[in-house]
Structure 1
Amino acid sequence: MKTILNVSFLLLSVLIFSQTNRFFYDYKFVPDSTDKAKVMNAVMLLDIDKNGSKYYSREKFVSDSTMKADITKQMQGGFGNVNIKRSNKPGIIYTSVTKSYPDYKVLLSEKIGQTGYKIVEDQKPEWKILADKQKIGEYNTQKATTSFGGRDWIAWFSIDIPFQDGPYKFYGLPGLIVKLEDKTGSHIMTLVGNKKTEASTVEELKLGNVITFGIDDKDIEVSKKQFKKVWKDYLADPTKDMKQRMSTLPAGAVVKMKNADGRDIDMNEMYKNMEKNAREGFKKNNNPIEPELFK
C-alpha cells in the first residue's frame, strides 16, 4: 500500500561526520516459535565511537537513506510537492539500540503501529564469565552467560577487540561480544566483519507541520511499564494509532490509499486491511528477542 501526501514543506538536513568503528553481525532468528524450521537472517551494524554505540539493521538504514535522498532530490527547488515512496525492501528488523558512554544509558527504539518509542532500559546484563575458550573466525574468544529479557544467553567475547560492548542491549564484558546466542537457538548474532567509517547521522528532517507517518517523527521516550501498556492497547485495536493521526492532519492535506493492485481504497477498507495484517503478524511473529517486553 502506498501513501501519497500532497504537501508543501521546507527540508533541512544537518549531517555530522565522525570516525566510527563499524562491526557487521549476521543475525539469524526464528520469528515463529511454532515453526522453528523457518529461520530468517539480517545483517546488523554495530557502530561504536567515543560517545557510545548504535545497533541497527543495515537493510533498513539503506532503505531510509534512499527515501530521504529521493525527498531531497524532489525538493531541491525549495517549496513544492513531494511524492513519498516507501521502499519495496525496507528491511525486516525495525528495532535499534543505542548506548551512551560512559554511563551506558541504553535505549531501545521500537515501533508500535505508526508511532516510534524509545524504551529506557532499567537493568544491565549480569555476566558469569567461564573458563571455556574457542576461536570464532579470526578471534580468540571466551565464554560468558547471563539471563536477560526473558531468555538465557551465551556470549563469546574477545579481549583482542577492546570494546566492552556488543549487539542489541548487551555490554559489560572485558572485550567485544563476537557471538551471542540464546539457549533455545532462536536468536544468534555472529560477528562477520568490521571496518572504520565516516558515519553520518541525519540530525533533523523537517517536513513543515505535516504528519508524515514515521519519516520525521520524534520517538517518544517511555519506561518499560509504559511501553507494555501501549503494546496491550495495540493488540486490542491495531488501527487506533492511525485513526488518531488521521484526525490531526492539517487542512488541505490529501491522502490517497491504494491496495497492492493499485486500486484506490477508502479509509474504512484501509483500517480493515490494517487490522487483518496486524493480527496475521501477531501469529507469525510470536518469538521476540526480548519476550518479557511484550507480556
Structure 2
Amino acid sequence: MKKYILIAIALFLFLNVRAQKGEQALVTVFYRFHHLKDSLDKSNLYKERMVLWIGKNASVYKSYDKIVNDSIKKTTVQEDGKGGYIINTSNRKKTTVDQIFNYPSDKKLIVLDKLIKTYAINETYPDINWKIGQDTILLSGIKCQKAETTFKGRNYTAWFAPDLPYNTGPWKLCGLPGLILQAYDDQNEVAFMFDGLKPAEPLESIVVPSVAIAASPADYHKLLNLLRNDPSAFFAQNEVNGVRLSPNNPEIFKNAKKRDNNPIELQP
C-alpha cells in the first residue's frame, strides 16, 4: 500500500494536463456506498460499489457496479426446441447513473445525469466548513485524520489522508488537505467506506462527454419533476434522433418519489 501512495504522489507532481479538455486519471479509489433511501423501511439498505478517478486537475465519482454492468451482460441460455438456443438478457443490478466531476482549482462542480438525454448540471461549488480534529486511524495502512462538518443537512464525520494531496473525495465531499477515504453521517443513513486504492488504468480518463447538454440545477429539476409527476408528457417532449419514446409502465417513475423519501441531500 505504501508503494501505491508513493506512485500516486509522484504522478500528482509530474503530470500537467488541463482537466476541462479531459485528462488521464492517476489514482483509482474504491468505496462501498450505503444509503437508507426509504426511511419507512430501515431494513432495506441500498448498497453499491463506487469509484473515484483522480487526475492532477480533476476527479470523477461514479458507480463501479455500473461500469461492470455495462461491460458484462448477464445472460441465460435455453433450448428453443428446434435445435437452437434462445439467449435472454437478464435484468441487471440497479445502479447510480449520475457522475460527479470536481475541478478544485477552478471551483467547478458538474453533475452528469441522464433523463433520456445526457445533461451536465453546473452546480455551485461546495463551500464546506470542516472542523479538523486530532484523532487518527489507519485505513489499509494509510494514516487518516478526522474531520467533521454539516453539509446538505447531514452531520458528517470524514477521514482524510494528508499524505495523498488531492482536494477531493467521494460524492460532493471535498475541501480537506488530503484525499477523503471515508465518510458517514451521524444517523448511519449515508456512508462512503474505503474499499481500496491503486494506480489508474490507461483507459480511465476524466472528461465530460461532448454530447452532454449544459443545464442549470433549476432547469434540471423541472425536467425531473415532470418525469416523476407526468411521465407521459415528459417522454412526449423528449425525442432521440427524431424517435418519440414512451414508457411501458409510467407508474414506476411516480412510485420512485415515494420509495426514495430520504435523499442524501436533505437541504440545498
- Inter-partner Cα distance in structure 1 for 2:205 and 2:180: 25
Q: Any conservation in 2 of the 1:115–1:241 contact (CA below 8 Å)?
A: no
Cα 1:217–1:106 change in 2 (3 A) is closer
Give the Å deviation of 1:121: 2.1
Amino acid at match of 1:198: P
User: 1:178-198 CA deviation, whole Å, 9 max, x = no partner?
Assistant: 111122211100111111121
Gaps of 5+ in 1: 1-15, 68-84, 205-215, 256-266
Q: Structure 1 vs Structure 2: percent identity of aligned residues? A: 29
- Inter-partner Cα distance in structure 1 for 2:105 and 2:223: 31
Q: Find 1:274's aligned residue among 230, 235, 249.
A: 249
Give the Å deviation of 1:226: 2.6
- Superposed, 1:137-286 pairs within 5 Å as 137-196=140-199, 197-201=201-205, 218-246=211-239, 250=242, 271=247, 273-286=248-261
Give the Å deviation of 1:96: 1.1
**What TM-score comes out, normalization by structure 1 length?**
0.68
Cα 1:20–1:59 change in 2 (3 A) is same
User: 1:122-157 CA deviation, whole Å, 9 max, x = no partner?
Assistant: 142221212233333422222212222232221111
Amino acid at match of 1:169: K
Q: Any conservation in 2 of the 1:29–1:39 contact (CA below 8 Å)?
A: yes
- Inter-partner Cα distance in structure 1 for 2:49 and 2:206: 21
User: 1:230-272 CA deviation, whole Å, 9 max, x = no partner?
Assistant: 33333321232321234x754xx7x9xxxxxxxxxxx8xx64x
Cα 1:111–1:150 change in 2 (3 A) is farther
Give the Å deviation of 1:65: 4.4
Q: Any conservation in 1 of the 2:136–2:146 contact (CA below 8 Å)?
A: yes
RMSD: 3.0
Give the Å deviation of 1:168: 0.8
Amino acid at match of 1:119: I
Give the Å deviation of 1:175: 1.1
Cα 1:164–1:217 change in 2 (3 A) is closer
Aligned pair count reads: 231
Give the Å deviation of 1:110: 2.6
Cα 1:126–1:223 change in 2 (3 A) is farther
The yes-or-no answer on 1:26 pairing with 2:32 is: yes
User: 1:92-113 CA deviation, whole Å, 9 max, x = no partner?
Assistant: 211210112522411112334x
Cα 1:118–1:184 change in 2 (3 A) is farther
User: 1:48-98 CA deviation, whole Å, 9 max, x = no partner?
Assistant: 11231110001212333458xxxxxxxxxxxxxxxxx98732542112101
> What corresponds to 1:130 in structure 2?
133
Amino acid at match of 2:190: H
User: 1:173-221 CA deviation, whole Å, 9 max, x = no partner?
Assistant: 11111111122211100111111121345979xxxxxxxxxxx993322
Higher relative contact order (CA 8 A, sep 6+): 1
Give the Å deviation of 1:28: 1.3
**What TM-score comes out, normalization by structure 2 length?**
0.74
Gaps of 5+ in 2: 1-21, 74-87
Amino acid at match of 2:184: E
